[in-house]
Amino acid sequence: MTFQAYLDAIKANTGLDPADFKRLASEKGILDAKASVVLAWLKEDFELGSGHGMAIFGTFKDRPEASERVDKQFAGPKAHWRPVVDQLIATLAEHGPVGTAPTDTYISLLKGKAKFAIVAMTADRLDVGIKLRDAATMATSPRVEPSGSWNSMVTHRVRVTDPAQVDAELIGWLRAAYDAAG
């Protein structure tokens, strides 16, 4: 299910859109609360499950600083990677809600608050770091290497030099990491 599909389903079931929920959360004094507080409210008052609740919670956070960081990462000679990363995230979001947390050097992919992967770009390469402790299937592929000193937040690294390499195999590993995350 895509992020938009979550929002569409919520609208169909409750009659409310993200702006309505944001207004109600503000009136309730929980707009800036932790996810657990907002999720409890959404479950109790609107019978929303975790995935749908996280989709609404994600709309509460206006992060211009985060979008600026993302824009900066895709500036100049790295710009051609943006549609690849956007499509990668959209594809993963069909499996479940995917959050992002950009830093100055990479973008974390999150399941709730749990990091399951990162992406980092150079002009020539997209590096996909995957956090998957039990990765027997990954170990048999020559595409995969231990993350080593590249990034200690993930266990494995896949170097992508062609957008076609963002294929079913890579998506499968990322989905396994998503499922294994918190």
Taking the chain (182 residues) in consecutive chunks of 10 residues, what is each chunk's mean pLDDT?
76 92 91 87 92 86 65 92 94 91 89 93 96 78 91 93 96 95 86
How far apart are the C-alpha atoms of 173 and 167, rounded to whole Å?
10
- Encode pLDDT of 132-151 as tens digits: 987 776 777 899 999 989 98
| Confidence (pLDDT) at 2 | 62
**By C-alpha distance, which of 133, 101, 134, 94 is closest to 115?**
101
pLDDT at 66: 63
In a 3-state reduction of DSSP, which class is residue 66? helix
Write down the pLDDT at residue 48.
92
Listed by start position, the domains of the chain span 3-60, 64-180
Question: For position 65, what pLDDT does the model report?
Answer: 58
Residue at token pair 């985060």: 66
